[in-house]
């Protein structure tokens, strides 16, 4: 599976899981059974979704991860082959590929997730070192916190040393070493994650700016705080600008919108777009993704996002 000697624009470290998505009017309470309105199984995991988003968003993309040798692992490999993603994957004989339970509210598209990383829980700093060259040769490196933090740290350190632009998506909200902040050219928390990192409740743009200031104080280059249907705040020492989300007719499923944002941000930065324009592109892609069911399957192509952006 290891694809040696390739140079990619965007390299993403993260997990793949099979998403098992159940739609219903509401979540059952403990001890209760309710009838749902839909079910779908498909490729997921934040890092893997971001890799699909980046590839569809126009970047030659590599993905570093760990799978089991099972049906869900086969689903992963088939997805990456179809999307033209360069795979830097090891496969465990013993550990299963991970899975996620996803509840989707069939009225609002809101979601709740339980994710079990499976084999990807054993990604280590050594896994990253084994892929040093492709990270060092990339234009943009992206990671999150679904795999062990030591691997995220090792990837960000390698990328920084090589002047590869770093995007750190601190999701889900887990603790991580303070030294990570100074390794982030871009940090991309949503409002909940920004609050957990800074202790500042984020319920307005002004709150987000204060949280952004706290993240700058900790050493990040630019804070990109995503605020759901309101859009994203671009905040650094020179510029603080709210980039509004695109308007959509009907929200079907919000799961993976953050992944659409991060993957497309990376793709746009890698092709040299001005950072504010890259955020506009990422916002539009995230807006399109929520109009479709699923996570990776909902990612728009570069052409679709560019057309939507050109309509304003």
Given 13, 86, 100, 142, the residue binding ligand RIB (CB under 6 A): 100
Cα 282 to Cα 245: distance, rounded to the nearest angstrom:
10
Residue the block writes with tokens 């994957």? 89
Least distance to ligand RIB from the beta carbon of 20, Å? 9
Q: Whose CA is closest to 85, among 150, 186, 16, 147? A: 16
Based on CB atoms, which residue is closest to ligand RIB, 44 or 57?
Answer: 44
Q: Does 46 bind ligand RIB (CB under 6 A)?
A: yes
- Could you tell me if residue 5 is left (phi over 0), alpha (psi between -120 and 50 degrees) or otherwise beta? left
Report the residue count for the chain: 312
Q: Does 226 bind ligand RIB (CB under 6 A)?
A: no
Sign of the alpha-carbon torsion through 125, 138, 170, 40? negative
Cα 63 to Cα 68: distance, rounded to the nearest angstrom:
16
Q: Which residue is nearest to ligand RIB (CB)?
A: 44
Q: How far apart are the first and last CA of the chain?
A: 42
Given 9, 13, 19, 76, the residue binding ligand RIB (CB under 6 A): 19
Least distance to ligand RIB from the beta carbon of 72, Å? 11
Q: Whose CA is closest to 122, among 104, 99, 95? A: 95
Query: Binders of ligand RIB among 112-151, rule CB under 6 A?
Result: 113, 115, 146
Q: Is 95 a catalytic residue?
A: no
Based on CB atoms, which residue is closest to ligand RIB, 144 or 164?
Answer: 144
Q: Longest Cα pair distance anywhere in the chain, in angstroms?
A: 53
Given 255, 264, 283, 305, the residue binding ligand RIB (CB under 6 A): 255
Give me 66's structure tokens: 């760990």
Given 8, 12, 23, 49, the residue binding ligand RIB (CB under 6 A): 49
Give me 44's structure tokens: 């997921």
Q: What is the dihedral of CA 248, 249, 254, 257, to 10 degrees?
A: -20
Least distance to ligand RIB from the beta carbon of 133, Å? 27
Given 258, 263, 275, 287, the residue binding ligand RIB (CB under 6 A): 258
Among the candidate windows 43-51, 209-217, 230-238, 298-306, which touches ligand RIB by CB under 6 A? 43-51
Question: Catalytic pick from 106, 213, 259, 274?
Answer: 259
Residues that bind ligand RIB (CB under 6 A): 17, 19, 44-46, 49, 100, 113, 115, 146, 255-256, 258-259, 295
Active site residues: 259
């Amino acid at each position: 599976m290891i694809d040696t000697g390739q140079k990619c624009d965007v390299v993403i470290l993260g997990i793949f899981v099979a998403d098992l998505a159940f739609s219903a009017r509401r979540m059952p309470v403990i001890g209760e059974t309710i009838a749902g309105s839909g079910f779908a199984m498909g490729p997921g995991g934040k890092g893997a979704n971001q890799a699909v988003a980046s590839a569809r968003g126009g970047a030659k993309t590599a993905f570093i991860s760990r799978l089991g040798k099972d049906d869900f692992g086969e689903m992963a490999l088939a997805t990456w082959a179809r999307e033209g993603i360069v795979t830097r994957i090891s496969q465990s004989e013993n550990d299963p590929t991970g899975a996620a339970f996803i509840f989707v509210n069939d009225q609002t598209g809101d979601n709740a997730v339980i994710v079990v990383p499976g084999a990807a829980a054993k990604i280590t700093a050594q896994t990253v070192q084994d892929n040093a060259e492709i990270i060092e040769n990339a234009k943009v490196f992206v990671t999150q916190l679904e795999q062990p933090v030591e691997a995220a740290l090792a990837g960000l350190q390698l990328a920084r040393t090589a002047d590869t632009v770093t995007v750190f998506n601190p999701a889900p909200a887990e603790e991580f070493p303070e030294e990570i902040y100074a390794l982030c050219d871009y940090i991309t928390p949503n409002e909940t994650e920004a609050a957990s990192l800074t202790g500042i409740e984020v319920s307005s743009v002004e709150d987000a700016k204060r949280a952004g200031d706290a993240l700058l104080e900790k050493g990040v280059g630019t804070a990109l705080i995503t605020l759901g249907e309101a859009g994203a705040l671009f905040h650094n020492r020179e510029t603080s600008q709210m980039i509004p989300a695109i308007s959509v007719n009907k929200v079907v499923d919000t799961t993976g919108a953050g992944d659409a944002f991060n993957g497309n941000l990376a793709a746009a930065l890698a092709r040299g777009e001005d950072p504010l324009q890259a955020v506009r592109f990422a916002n539009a892609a995230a807006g399109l993704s929520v109009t479709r069911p699923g996570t990776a399957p909902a990612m728009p192509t570069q052409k679709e996002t560019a057309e939507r952006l050109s309509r304003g």
